[in-house]
Amino acid sequence: MLSSAPGNTQSERQAFYARIGASHLTPLWEVLHSLVPQSPRSPCATVGWHYDEVRPYLMEAGRLIGAKEAERRVLIFENPALRGHSCLTQTLYAGLQLLLPGEVAPSHRHTQSALRLVLEGEGAYTAVDGERTVMRPGDFIITPSMTWHDHGNPGDQPVVWLDGLDIPLLRFLDAGFAEKYPDDTHPVTRPEGDANARFGGNLAPMDYTPPRVGASPIFNYPYAQTRETLTKVSRGASVDPHHGHGLRFLNPTTGAAPIPTIGACVQLLPPGFKGRPYRATDSRIFCCLEGEGRIDTDDWSFEFAARDVFTVPSWIAHRLSSPSEAVVFSFSERPVQQALGLWREERIA
């Protein structure tokens, strides 16, 4: 609050504010420091969920509503500081989706981009614009903006995956569109593995020109391949004191993130790893794929195991540690911040 100028009283100012408020005006000087902070002050809370505690609710939802009726049977992770907004960070949505044996989640498309991280079960598939891919635990699968996609489970066990979408970001931009396909499934026009065959071996069709802005032509990054890469890297590379052995997923044709609005990483934490504090301006959502560990901030800690989900808001220093080998996946809006020249990180000694 500014000190009163000569001849003015606080009551006079408040009366002035009330008068201009009727004309939908407000004084900048009363809110300037919150609008232009010296450093990020996210309203989001650090929070985590243990999968074993959430899973029973998900299975109960499976008894209460079918996949077709729900269209997408998902339990949303809501940030405690943003209840009612259906988001985990200010830019990203996350939730657990369940597909029971014999079910189909109907085909649709939307401007929101999505990622899937398979957590439990095998036998289900995701179809993206005419190609199906089998979902296996740990697989990182993307559904680019405005691509037709449906999910089916012809297997004999429930399949659960983590959904991550840029819904809050597109809501802020008022840029959301959606369309339902007239049938439950979109026609299959390419054999399974076609995208990986064309683009997954450091090769591309001779006449392919990547779009200036666009998603990866590969839509399934199999965990078996990711895990093999992490293992090989860990044998020869020095351990990063903040990230362990960390790798970013890439669009193989451009070197950019697989999704223009969402970046994804995977980290192998070696046995006994005690990471140094790290912070960045992107808010990150984590999911443990293997092993167990702990994340600490100055005023919060969370012990995690396989399939647990947790998040750290923008510019909150955090430390990862693990008593034994662990693998952690994470995603954030980092590509958006980098495109705008806003992304910043700090490695704290």
- Alpha-carbon torsion, ordered 111, 112, 113, 118, to 10 deg: -130
Q: Pairing state of beta strands 131-134 and 104-110?
A: unpaired
Contact 294, 300 (CB under 8 A): no
Q: How many CB atoms lie within 10 A of CB 80?
A: 9
pLDDT at 3: 54
CATH numeric code, 47-347: 2.60.120.10
Contact 47, 84 (CB under 8 A): no
pLDDT at 253: 95
Question: Which residues are registered as beta bridge partners of 278?
Answer: 318, 347
Give CATH 2.60.120.10 domain extents, the chain.
47-347
* Cα–Cα dist 64/173, whole Å: 34
Write down the residue that tokens 């540690």 correspond to.
321
Return the closest-CA partner of residue 294 out of 272, 269, 320, 271.
Answer: 320
pLDDT at 1: 46
pLDDT tens track of the chain, all 349 residues? 455 555 568 999 999 999 999 999 999 999 999 999 999 999 999 999 999 999 999 999 999 999 999 999 999 999 999 999 999 999 999 999 999 999 999 999 999 999 999 999 999 999 999 999 999 999 999 999 999 999 999 999 999 999 999 999 999 999 999 999 999 999 999 999 999 999 999 999 999 999 888 999 999 999 999 999 999 999 988 999 999 999 999 999 999 999 999 999 999 999 999 999 999 999 999 999 999 999 999 999 999 999 999 999 999 999 999 999 999 999 999 999 999 999 999 999 9
pLDDT at 6: 55
* Cα–Cα dist 125/107, whole Å: 12
Contact 327, 291 (CB under 8 A): yes
* Cα–Cα dist 173/238, whole Å: 42
3-state SS class at 137: coil
**Distance of alpha carbon 278 from the chain centroid:** 19
Largest CA distance in the chain: 79
Tell me, yes or no, if the pTM score tops 0.85: yes
Question: Which residues are registered as beta bridge partners of 99?
Answer: 159
Q: Radius of gyration of the chain from Cα atoms? A: 23
pLDDT at 236: 86
